[in-house]
Amino acid sequence: MTPYDAPLKQDRPTQDALVDGFGRTVSYLRVSVTDRCDLRCVYCMAEHMVFLPKAEILTLEELERIASAFVGLGTRKLRITGGEPLMRKGLMDLLGKLSRHLDSGALEEITLTTNGTRLTEFAGRLAEVGVRRINVSLDTLKPDLFRKLTRGGDVAKVLAGIAAAQAAGLRVKINAVALKDDNAAEIPDLIRWAHGQGCDMTLIETMPMGEIEADRTDQYLSLTRLRAELESFWTLTDLSVSTGGPARYVEVAETGGKLGFITPLSHNFCEACNRVRLTCTGTLHTCLGQEDASDLRAVIRAGASDAQLVDAIRLAVDAKPKGHDFRIARASAPAVARHMSTTGG
Ligand code: SAM
Ligand code: SF4
């Protein structure tokens, strides 16, 4: 039995909105458009990754079809991610097509998470297709450390990319993974720099996703501890803004900027979760930290109608797990086998 000829659930909401079995409305879709990347961040990928064969990757038309089905079901926010999304050939065409949902008012925004290395080339086009803000991942400003953390990357390219994005009118938020022995001491400087550029900043704890060479207990830095340290010399004021997502924001009085903390390990954030993730192979994950998966590629490649695709999406969302329980213990296996670059961070 394929997911789309399963019996309809009697208690399914009749309205358009996508509501899961715990009553949470799903209004945010993150789409990974490729598993490939020009960097190899130590916490994200193994040094020698085996990438997927092209036939397994959704075509641009398939990506557009599934994303549009979500928009029809009340998705208001779309985030394009990867791998490195700007490595995907034809991405600007896909975004151009999806922007019709911005024009119609069905979508509030299309955003992008990128490592920034190709922004000098694409920032102008992103602005043209209606992207207004992007997240750029940047864990350090130090060229040597950047090269080490990304296994070969050039931080100058990212900095030029951020400048190009701002020149094109895009709002940029900086995301940094907090890593115990690598960038921990630099984080206050990174925050000061980001805020000085007019960028908000978010700190992320390392999550146990996918096998990598390093032991994650060596990388993990609790943001609760980091926050306490920042508070020893800065005034942090909690902000009530919530994106429905995992970040908790504060304002830093001394820099005048906003700082977010994403703490999947030290705090769980599942009760307000409004998001699901589509991988570049068409697998829908309704929880970042669980192995649940629905194969939407199989559904559409078997010739499903739009109504059958909608049914498959509803079934998957209905079964969204209540939450995850990430733990990092020495020598333990990752909580989920897939890498963040497959799921899309
Ligand atoms: N390549 C793009 C980038 O780096 O922004 C988009 C994809 S990347 C997988 C999305 C985000 O996930 C990045 O901010 C990255 O730092 C974060 N990330 C990757 N692996 C992670 C892990 N194991 N724990 C926490 N964050 C991770
Ligand atoms: Fe590539 Fe982003 Fe993963 Fe770094 S975090 S390896 S840039 S996908």
Residue 250 falls within a domain, yes or no? no
Residue 236 falls within a domain, yes or no? no
Kindly report the CATH number assigned to the domain that includes residue 296.
3.20.20.70
Region of 271 (left: φ > 0; alpha: ψ -120 to 50; beta: rest) is: alpha
| Residue ID of nearest Cα to ligand 2 atom 4 | 41
Residue 8 — pLDDT band, cuts 50, 70, 90?
very low
338 alpha carbon – ligand 2 mean position (Å): 14
Q: Give pTM, 2 decimals.
A: 0.89
Pocket of ligand 2 (CB under 6 A): 37, 39-41, 44-45, 82-84, 115, 137, 341
The rounded distance, in Å, linking the Cα atoms of 344 and 283 is 11
Which is the closest atom of ligand 1 to the Cα of 344? 9
Residue 117 falls within a domain, yes or no? yes
Range of the domain at 160: 9-173+275-343
The rounded distance, in Å, linking the Cα atoms of 122 and 120 is 6
Residue 47 falls within a domain, yes or no? yes
- Residue 212 CB neighbours (<10 A): 22
Q: What is the pLDDT of residues 186-203, one digit of tens each?
A: 999 999 999 999 999 999
Q: What is the pLDDT of residues 10-39, one digit of tens each?
A: 344 444 789 988 888 999 999 999 999 999
Per-chain mean pLDDT for the chain: 87
Residue 184 falls within a domain, yes or no? no
| Residue ID of nearest Cα to ligand 1 atom 26 | 206
91 alpha carbon – ligand 2 mean position (Å): 17
Residue 280 falls within a domain, yes or no? yes
Residue 157 falls within a domain, yes or no? yes
Q: What is the pLDDT of residues 54-96, one digit of tens each?
A: 999 999 999 999 999 999 999 999 999 999 999 999 999 999 9
Which is the closest atom of ligand 2 to the Cα of 339? 3
Number of domains in the chain: 1
Residue 259 falls within a domain, yes or no? no
